Each structure stands twice: as C-alpha cells, then as structure tokens.
Structure 1
C-alpha cells in the first residue's frame, strides 16, 4: 500500500516565514522598546466635564461653583458667550447657537480666510469695477479707484474703519467675491462654526446671512492665534494713504480706543465690532488679565442705547475674569475632533472601541513585543516540524517503493 504525503515546498516555508515577519512588523517600534526602558503608565483619560449638548439649549447656560460670582444682571443681548481663548472652554452663554445677523463682525471670518493668501507688502492699483458691489450705506475707509495701496493698508482699513470698500478690493485680490464667499463657508466649517451662513464677505445685511455668538467666539479665538490678525485687530490708530498724503483712521471698537464716552477696557486685545439697522450692534471682544485671555461675544442688546454692546461686553469680561476656576465649563469652542471633553458620538462608539483595541498605548509595548517574539518562535517551530515530517514521509515513501505490498 502506497503512503500519501504532503511535501513541504519552498513556497510553504516562505509563506510561513513571511507570516512571522508580518506579525513582527505589524507592531511599530517605539523608543521605549528600543532602549528596553519600560514606558510610564499612560494617565487616565479625563472624564467629560460637561455635556456637549448644553450649548444647544436656549437660554442662559452656566455651572457655577460655590464661590462663583453671579452673572451680571444688566446684559440684555439676544445672545452672548464668555470663553477662555486659550483652552476654548465656554464659561457661560446665552442662546449660543441662535442664528442672528452678524454685521461687520463677519469680517473676522473674512480675515481668517483671506489673510494667509495675500502678501501684506503687495501694491495694488484699485480698478473702479472692484468697488461696484459695495452696498449703499456701507462703512468706508476711503479707497479710491486709480490709487495704489499696499495690502497691509487695506487690512487696516478693514479692521479699524470696518471699510467695506477695502473688503471688496481684498476679496478681488483673493480670487473674487464668489470665490472668497465659498472659502469663508469652508473655513467656518473647518473651525466648527456650524451656524454661520455667508452671503457677503463684508457682513453687509443680506438675506440668509447669519452667524451666532458661538461662531463669532470661534472666529475671535482663531484670530488671536494668528499674529497678523492679532496685530491688526489690536491697532487703535493708523494712517491711511490718499495719494501724496495720508489721513488718520481710528479703530471703531470703543473698548479699545475709549471713544464716545466709553472707557477703554484694560488689557483689551480687540477683536471686531459691527452694526447695521437689521443686525443691531454686535461685538467680538478679547482681553488679557493675570495670565488669562477671554473672548466675549455680544449680539444685539435690547436696552441701553448706542454704546450698550460695549458696556455689556465689559460686564461679561469682568465676570469671566472673576469666575475663572470657579465655574465648570458648559461647552467648548474647539471642533469635536479636538475637544477632549466632548462626549463620543454613540453612532461611532463601536468603531472607536475597535480602533483603540488595535492601538495599544506606550505602556503596552513590552508585552506586545513579547507576544510578537513568541508568535515568531511558534511559527518557526511549525516550519521545522513540517520540514521533519516531509523528510520522514519521503523516507517512508522510498521504503514503500522498495518493498511493495
């Protein structure tokens, strides 16, 4: 009777060795493994400090501790928000995501979008058609057709005089009004500003153009992190060219300049104010004190007159500095993927758990390498056993051929 056997070919041995190598290479090397120094245990992940849905609720949201000061009673704005500009933690808010017309505070998003694309030292001769679509009654810095301006001069016209004429020229340099609007929409989504709908880059009243106290705070926080933006928005006074001479322009943010009977706010960094008859007064303010930087947004105060937006921002800044460390955050200005406190999306919970199971932290590497080494040893043993069996079967086959039944 002939004996049947399965030969151990070179392809089998190669496949087995390749499998062993694949097991080893599937675990990337780490510094801890290379130096044989065990990694420190990873710290526990922080527990959520707030519900990610709190800011979606209407009305005032605040979580005061025992020593926290009470919120100011004189704030009448339809929506407002106070946040830590460094961490993004929202300390308190009212109607954070209520869509409202933003007026010229939308220029902050325009600057975030276009500033990186334009050379501040570039000189440009303004064409008449570049000013054709500036809205009637717009705030202007005085851009004149046929005159040459540096891009930096135009940006000062945007931030200090809220000049819609300067915005339109810069938007043309950025690829055109339509292109700039599309870029602004994309930038808002990138920053997690889901309430903002852009129709015009200058914030001029347009049907469907809205933002929110939350989104404006996101723009303010992002702007402070950009050196050019931060420099422009904190400039109180500058000179604007007019051919062979120049004239003085002053920032329309009264908290920065102290104009019109509004006392300047100590440590103010900017950011942008706005007003239209449809939007009312709007403001993004930021200030620094004792190592803390706050960003405050105020949209459309209902009482208090023309300067109410500045006084209400002042009250909220004072409260925010006094409340630092004494309140629990009610949300975050960071996009969801950057917000370490945000609750995970239940729809992705299973997938997230699977990914984490396949991605051990540094403290697991010694064990991982030990397992990998063991796997390679086992595979080598399997290959050797198969080879010995093949040799044995071959000998038996030869014997069977010599001595048939």
Structure 2
C-alpha cells in the first residue's frame, strides 16, 4: 500500500485514548510519497478504516497532485460510496467546535416535528458558555422547532441547541444519545461533553468522524435542507429578522467565493479548536464530503480555501486514486452488506435521498441571493 507520511507525523490515537490524549504540535501537511505500515487503532480488525499517521493517498496513473494543506487533520471522501479518497491524520483527536452540531442534529433532529411549538424557560438558557454564538432565543417566547433548527444550522446558535436539548430530556441525556449515535455510526474517536461543541475538557472528535457525521446527515432530508439554507428569518420581538448561514463557502460572504454545487454542511470556531469545517458538494452526479480541522496558515478564512482545494482535488481524482478506507462502519464477520452501501466508488445508486441532490440546487440558488449580505466584521462561529 502506498502511503505518504508528513515530516512530523503523529501516531493516530484510538478512541479510548482520545479523552486524555495530549495536544500535538503543528506540522506540515505536505506529503512525502513512500511506503509504510498503517498504525493499528482500536479497530485494527477493521481494515476498511483509514488508520495511520501523515498524509495517506494511493494514486493511480494520471492522478492529480494533492494540494498543499496546512490543517492539522483533513479527510476527502465520496459521500455516495463512503470511500475515503485521501486523508491526513484522519483519527487525530481534536476539539471539533460547532462541527459537533452535526452529531447533535443526527441524534435529536428526528425526534420532533418541525411544527412542534415550545415556550422557552429561563432554565433552558442557563449554562451557555461565554462568548457563544447565539441566534437570539428569548425566555418566554414560543418558537417552532423548525425555527430553532434554522438557528442551529445557520447561526450556529448555542442558545437554540440548549433549548432543543432541553426538549430532548436535558443536556446530559442528549450528550449520552449523541455518544451512542457516534458509536452506532462507527465514529470511535468522538467523546462528547457538550451538545453545542463549545470547548470543554476531554471533548474531541476527528476529521474521520466528522466526515461520517456529515455523510449521515446528507442522507436525512431535513438535515440536508437545513444545512443547504443560505439565509432565512428568525422570530424576534414584534416580528422577525434575517439570519444568514455562517458557512462562507455556501453564502459567498466576507470575500470568500461560494463553491459551485456546495450543499452544506457545517463550520465552527472556538479558541481551542481554531476553525473547523465539514463541507459537501455535488458535481456531475458525484457528491464529496471534506473535513478540515484547524488550518495553521492563512488566517481565519483559510479553512474555506483549504476545503475548496480538497474538493477540487477530489472531483479531479475521480477514478484515479485507490480508496484508502471507508466511512462505513465495519460489519461483523458473516454479516450481509448494508443495503445503502454502494457497489463501486462514485456510484450514488438507489437509496441516496433525492433531498440531498435537491439541497444542492437550493443551496447554490439561494447563495446567489445573499452575496450582498455580509456577516458583521467577519465574525466567527463560536462553539
């Protein structure tokens, strides 16, 4: 197997050690092609998982060269088949910031109809971390669940997350359900402490796990619709006000060009996590999902440009690289293939919800309407 290793690659940690893993030093993401042995992780018996350190890619003849990416960890995967095309330290445990809201949505979104109405109590808005991103939920106001989800996906509102968590039985219950959902999806690197992604001791995920969550979310029509929404309104005193998605690859805000065919998924920022992003785009019947965690160069918007370069590479590399692994959870010995598994790389096939493809059209079309809408001062999503 051909695997590239970075000059200062770190050994990928298993999920059981993620909670207490020390911080790793920043390193270059430029690959040096060579051969090596993948480092076994907690699922060493699951060869479909891309374990190993450094930059991993298996190019065929005519494959494009990987872009120079400064992120501490990243993944490029085919959302239809689940195959991982390339990655850098994919299981490195890192704070996820608001990209963890993808897992929150997977655990909670199916539980309540969007038309359900709820009046917010003071207790539900307690314990929101200082400096959190907020959509403006107010005590005593009644909101539709759909409004709260738009607050989560567009404004990354931690206030909306806390209200939905309260509806779901409370923060502790929601954290347990998020953890269980991660395990069910085969995302073994993630340890959940807060439902909103706000920095907390021991809270980590990985580029691999976040790609798993993004792919799973796109297969849910409601998730796909929310994450593709560029702008909307949110109820306020005496009316409603405009809100815009903080994912600049979707909106084209703050000087970041919108990415053609983008269909979400979620961006994030905290002081501990830096900038993080799960992005998915569709082109020519093919859907890619990319995770970028904490770029070390280029400023606050580098996460979008590095995701752009990885998406471009992934589309250009179609049929020119051998997958290094899969986002699909390993099956027990003798088990039949999952019904949603694809037969070959890039085959969207039956079972992929049409909503995901439709979300792409919605997202791209709506993005054009918000090119004039600029988020104040290039504000970053927090938590």
TM-score (norm 2): 0.75
Shift of 1:54: 6.7
Among candidates 311, 325, 341, match of residue 319 of structure 2: 325
The 5-angstrom pairing of residues 327-366 of structure 1 reads 327-337=321-331, 352=334
Cα distance per residue 1:84-103 (max 9 Å; x no partner): 00000000000000000000
Among candidates 49, 54, 66, match of residue 71 of structure 1: 66
Among candidates 173, 177, 182, match of residue 188 of structure 1: 182
Among candidates 128, 131, 139, match of residue 134 of structure 1: 128
1:155–1:54 Cα change, 3 Å: closer
Shift of 1:244: 2.7
Among candidates 56, 64, 70, match of residue 61 of structure 1: 56
1:246 is matched with 240
Among candidates 293, 297, 310, match of residue 287 of structure 2: 293
Structure 2 residue matching 1:170: 3-state secondary structure: helix
- Structure 1 consecutive aligned stretches of length 4 or more whose deviation exceeds 4 Å: none
CA distance in 1 between counterparts of 2:47 and 2:63 reads 22
Q: Which structure 2 segments of 5+ residues have no match?
A: 1-45, 337-383
Among candidates 187, 191, 194, match of residue 197 of structure 1: 191
1:302 is matched with 296
Among candidates 129, 139, 152, match of residue 145 of structure 1: 139
Structure 1 residue matching 2:200: 3-state secondary structure: coil
Tell me if structure 2 keeps the 8 A contact 1:270–1:286. yes
1:375 is matched with none
CA distance in 2 between counterparts of 1:239 and 1:300 reads 30
Structure 1 residue matching 2:50: 3-state secondary structure: helix
CA distance in 1 between counterparts of 2:126 and 2:284 reads 47
Structure 2 residue matching 1:269: 3-state secondary structure: strand
Tell me if structure 1 keeps the 8 A contact 2:48–2:330. no
Structure 2 residue matching 1:56: 3-state secondary structure: coil
CA distance in 1 between counterparts of 2:192 and 2:59 reads 35
2:171 is matched with 177
1:234 is matched with 228
Cα distance per residue 1:165-210 (max 9 Å; x no partner): 0000000001111110000000000000000000000000000000
Among candidates 104, 111, 114, match of residue 105 of structure 2: 111
CA distance in 2 between counterparts of 1:62 and 1:313 reads 17
1:160 is matched with 154
CA distance in 2 between counterparts of 1:177 and 1:307 reads 31
CA distance in 1 between counterparts of 2:276 and 2:251 reads 17
Shift of 1:52: 1.9
Cα distance per residue 1:19-61 (max 9 Å; x no partner): xxxxxxxxxxxxxxxxxxxxxxxxxxxxxxxx92772110000
CA distance in 2 between counterparts of 1:54 and 1:186 reads 19
Among candidates 91, 100, 109, match of residue 85 of structure 2: 91
| 2:261 maps to 1:267 | yes
* Structure 1 range deviating more: 311-320 or 120-129: 120-129
Tell me if structure 1 keeps the 8 A contact 2:249–2:258. yes
Tell me if structure 2 keeps the 8 A contact 1:126–1:147. yes
Tell me if structure 2 keeps the 8 A contact 1:55–1:95. no
CA distance in 2 between counterparts of 1:213 and 1:220 reads 10
Larger radius of gyration: 1
Structure 1 residue matching 2:58: 3-state secondary structure: strand
More helix by share: 1
Aligned residues: 291
The 5-angstrom pairing of residues 18-29 of structure 1 reads none
Q: Which structure 1 segments of 5+ residues have no match?
A: 1-50, 338-343, 357-405
| 2:305 maps to 1:311 | yes
CA distance in 1 between counterparts of 2:48 and 2:117 reads 47
TM-score (norm 1): 0.71
CA distance in 1 between counterparts of 2:121 and 2:275 reads 32
* Structure 1 range deviating more: 236-245 or 190-199: 236-245
Among candidates 94, 97, 102, match of residue 100 of structure 1: 94
